[in-house]
Amino acid sequence: MTIHTILKMGDPRLLRIAQPVTEFDTDALHLLVRDMFDTMRSVNGAGLAAPQIGVDLQLVIFGSNDRNPRYPDRPLVPPTVLLNPVITPLGDAEEEDWEGCLSVPGLRGKVPRWSRIRYTGFDPYGDPIDRTVEGFHARVVQHECDHLIGKLYPMRVRDFTQFGFTEVLFPDIGAAEDD
């Protein structure tokens, strides 16, 4: 079990375009995925992208079978490992909702995202994934996949009156759960 340091906004590695995964079902890939889940759980994350720990690969993980203290009122998203993802919006509808990020600790902002999406890609064994989702699940996938193209959620905030410190905006969420 290895808990990796999560890069913070301002680190230029977070702005790179990640490279596709070309080798599946390797010991190194399975170890990376395990370490990413351990790292995500250690900080109550809803998801984690490989670039957030300095790994330049198109790999995201998200979801849990347990409630997340950072997002206590959100529905569960199934634990997923997604490599080389492609997101296709289904329709023009967008939803604005609050987001936070492990690379932007202590802050939240209202971010527009497609309401309903289809995402495709591969699992660590190279088997295809093809899902149609909406709501919080769709938001989490879009947020994590943004990391693969060098975008952090503040880059998508449209109204900066809806951006601020979690402890001010959401005093019921403890600082320990949000950093």
What are the residue numbers of the active site?
144
Give the helix ranges, DSSP H, for the chain: 27-42, 135-146, 166-169, 175-178
Collapse the DSSP code of 120 into the 3-class scheme (helix H, G, I; strand E, B; otherwise coil) and give the result: strand
Residue 53's contacts (CB-CB under 8 Å, 6 or more residues apart) are: 4, 5, 6, 7, 35, 36, 39
Structure tokens belonging to residue 128: 């295809």
Collapse the DSSP code of 31 into the 3-class scheme (helix H, G, I; strand E, B; otherwise coil) and give the result: helix
CA-CA distance, 76 to 85, in Å (whole number)? 21
Residue 127's contacts (CB-CB under 8 Å, 6 or more residues apart) are: none
Q: What are phi and psi of 54, to 5 degrees?
A: 80, 15
Torsion of CA 164, 166, 171, 174, to 10 degrees: -160
